[in-house]
Chain A
Amino acid sequence: MSWNRVAVVGGGLIRFGELFDQSYEQMAHGAFAAAVSSVDKGFDPHQVEAAIVATQRGTLWGQEGIGGNTVPSAIGLAGVPCTRVENACPSGSDAFRIGAMVVASGVHDVVLVIGVEKMRDKSTDEGLLSRAASGHPIYNRAETAPVLFAPFATRHMHEFGTTREMLASVAVKNHHNGTLDPYAHFQSEITVDQVLASPPVCHPLHLLDCCPQTDGAAAVILVNAERAREFTDKPVWVAGFGVATDHPYLHEKSTFTGLPVTTLAAERAYQMAGVGPNQIDMAEVHDCFTITEILDIEDLGFIEKGKGGVASLEGETAIGGRIPVNPSGGLLSKGHPIGATGVAQITECYWQLRGEVGERQVELRHGNALQHNVGGRGSGVSVVNILTTNNP
């Protein structure tokens, strides 16, 4: 493949949470400013040649007017070419992939990728119901977000003996990691017993098996690899990416013990990067629910199919484990402002590969980090991006 190599030279985010006092535009500005100030050798905002903005929620959530024109104005760059990307829960990671392709194509050398999402401007009930009633008027009725993943938990437990304790261990680990991440929505430890005793949300998932509704924004700066040293002596390179789609509705799924769409996206990313799952030092994966992380670590090839629950319970995915997963706290603890989620995961991978996250730093053996999202009506799309410190 003939494409210009791409480097990440800056990344930043705002503290995720229920940001009732910040507008969409203020969040975008905060994330952009954080990314700009993170660039080692300084960065003039006007060096941005183009921007890709990821915002997933549209017509149902009060962001009807949000488009490619909203963010440049908010961050002081009106005039810059900018396009909004929407691709379900992987919107942010797909915006990153598209930004990388813009740089790789040679059309632009410096591209901003920014994800912004307002999740809490509408009431929980209204958000829930909107979710439960969009799409086909019957075939997805009553499908709130946990309905899209809980059926996999039921079947995974049935087939592999996965237990609620195993699911809970994912939440416990990610909440612990979140206490080490100053940007995380939640900053408190929880116990397995607390997860088990939390109110049922969507059997077999309980409240602490679920990510919160979180506002947030994150941004990264991509440049042509040949110009990376203008900005930093410690660039991180884009090694590969993959996107895959599947039939979106749950009744169209071929299996309920995994998400083949993740495996397909990962295969494409691994092939492009020339690495395999055993050469990944850490991963930021889509843990909207505890079961999702268990599916992810199996579908990404880190853990044998069916063993994800046991592996989680035994600490294989902890920061000091064999394959650290979601050291940032993940969606479960850091939060899931949809368009911002993937971009924030990229930021964590960037910081981890540069070795600058303190207590939650993972051991770097191969210099590769993987970022993953999956989503859509019923996991109809997945995106995997792989970053590396190894020279392109």
Chain B
Amino acid sequence: MSQSNTPGPGVVSPVGLLGIGAAVPSGRLSVSDVAAGWGQRAGSGALAVCGPDEDCLTLAWSAAGAALDAAGVEAHEVGALYWGTARPPMAEGPSHAFLLAAIGLGSDVGGLLAGGSVHAGLDALVAAWDAVAAGAVGVALVVASDALVPGPGTGAEKSTGAGAVALVVSGPTGAPARLVARATRVRPLLDRYRGDGQAGTGDPYDPRLYRERELLPSVTSAVDALADRPPPETRWSVPDPDGRLGKAVAAAVGAKAVSSEGVFAQIGDAGSAAGLLGLLGALGGPGTACVVGTGGGRSTAVVIEVSAPVPGQQRAAAAIGGGDAGTRSLNYPSVLRSRGQLVPLSDPVPMGVPPGSAAFVRGSEELLGLLGRKCDSCGTVCVPPSIHPVCMNCGSPGGDIVQVARRGRVQTFVVNHTMPPPFEAPLPLAVVDLDDGTRIMLQGMPEDAAALEIGDRVHLELRRYAIERGVPVYGFKVQRDVHPGSGPNGNGTNGSGASVALAGRESS
């Protein structure tokens, strides 16, 4: 009976995978630091963890931009956004709408936010598949991201990583890879768990009980449900929630080649993103791949036929290892603070403009979309539109709302050392001349504080500015290009930008 509830091959037509992108935070938390904090013997390895201005939404934004770039798809071509995350930044609220606006997708773009467990990434993929296969959506953007907040002192704390992966899904014709088969099986059992009102995620079961009675039976049931057994040479991405279980899962499903091997060692368990990040190693050339994900009592297996390297695969795979910017160590207290688990005795000073105020309502779209008003008389772009009813150059009231460029060059900057919480010091702030001529001033990245210079090439990144009165506030920050012309959304395709940058540094 359960088989009739789950569409198998032949029920849903294949769809194409046009491009992929990934984002992993640069912060790394040493497992032994966490263990030492609880008086335990040292663990090993490091986990990718968010800094105070990152979360699953900012990671999702970064991966989505990289995927669109890789696929050569413009934001306006995207028909729907399917985002899976076990812990959306707002338990109730416009998480999906925020991400949509920040990516620059239109207000008519549909899709959904899948949640509830780390299976959400595959739920999002399946939903996109159905919509594209049914012809309801032409191009779908699928994003899986998680930066789970494990409970302090739990086992999950020593395995929880963070990351995001995004896929551009469309019709199968001419696509470098096709999603061809899938199966899902459901068992009503707890796994990683966070109750309503609980701040952190924990593991309810004894690890042996979880492995023997839940993980292995659930995963194998999904794989067994595939109409055709994947061929022996299939490259597998299998769940590896603690860095050891992956081997057991691989053995249980008969996987010989495991593309997800080693991912945990680099970033930990990236939750909803883990399965698709583990798939990256299988998308570099022709062959069959199978990604298996599990969580929330559900397991899904998806079979992918790869005929050519999937655009973005190399760059996305590199992101797992730290990407262009490399990694940086974060100490355990700072991670606890970023996660809201280490709070000062005194209340933080409330900000002057509360997120619930009309100013934020007026500013929401121009803030997330980074919009300007382009004068139809002289072409000057004034940002933000809400404070520029007329052109600041010529006074003309006519103009169009435009997205400003996302790359530019530093005109001048400061490094602020005296920021009270929730800001982090030292905090660079830079005036940037964007490539479209717009001048803008934004916060920078703490890790750029020492190296930032006038004339530097920079790009803009979505970051979480703060959580104010319980509400996350997002906006763009300036990040220094490590290699001119590179960066999450430049994807190295902006060759002319690179040469301009080098010439500019020499002349200035």
Contact = CB atoms under 8 A, between A and B. Distances in A.
B429 interface: yes
B503 interface: no
A136 B382 CA distance: 14
Interface string A228-254: 000000000000000000010111110
A37 interface: no
A364 interface: no
B349 A125 contact: yes
Interface in A243-274: 247, 249-253, 256
A251 B353 contact: no
Contacts of A129: 349, 351-352, 420
A150 B443 CA distance: 14
Interface stretch (A91-99, A141-149, A301-309): A141-149
Nearest to A155: B412
A13 to B, nearest CB: 28
Contacts of A197: none
Contacts of A83: none
A161 interface: no
Contacts of B426: 200, 203
- Interface range, B side: 35 or more
Interface string A119-141: 00000011011101111111101
Contacts of B387: 136, 139, 249
Given A250-B431, A251-B441, A142 B416 contact: yes
Contact of A135 (B353, B420, B427): B353
B414 A134 contact: no
Q: Looking at chain B's contact residues, is the secondary structure mostly helix, strand, loop, or mixed?
A: mixed
Interface stretch (B17-25, B148-156, B359-367): B359-367
B440 interface: yes
A335 B415 CA distance: 24
A251 B439 contact: yes
Contacts of A130: 349, 352
Interface of A: 60, 125-126, 128-130, 132-139, 141-144, 146-147, 150-152, 154-155, 158, 199-205, 247, 249-253, 256
B384 A133 contact: no
Contacts of B440: 251
A137 B443 CA distance: 13
Most B CB within 10 A of own CB, among A143, A146, A252, A256 = A252
B402 to A, nearest CB: 16
Given A141-B443, A147-B416, A132 B423 contact: yes
A114 B383 CA distance: 37
B238 to A, nearest CB: 42
Contacts of A139: 383-384, 387, 441
B362 to A, nearest CB: 9
A135 B386 CA distance: 12
B392 A142 contact: no
Contacts of B413: 151, 154
A126 B346 CA distance: 12
Contact of B418 (A146, A155, A247, A253): A146
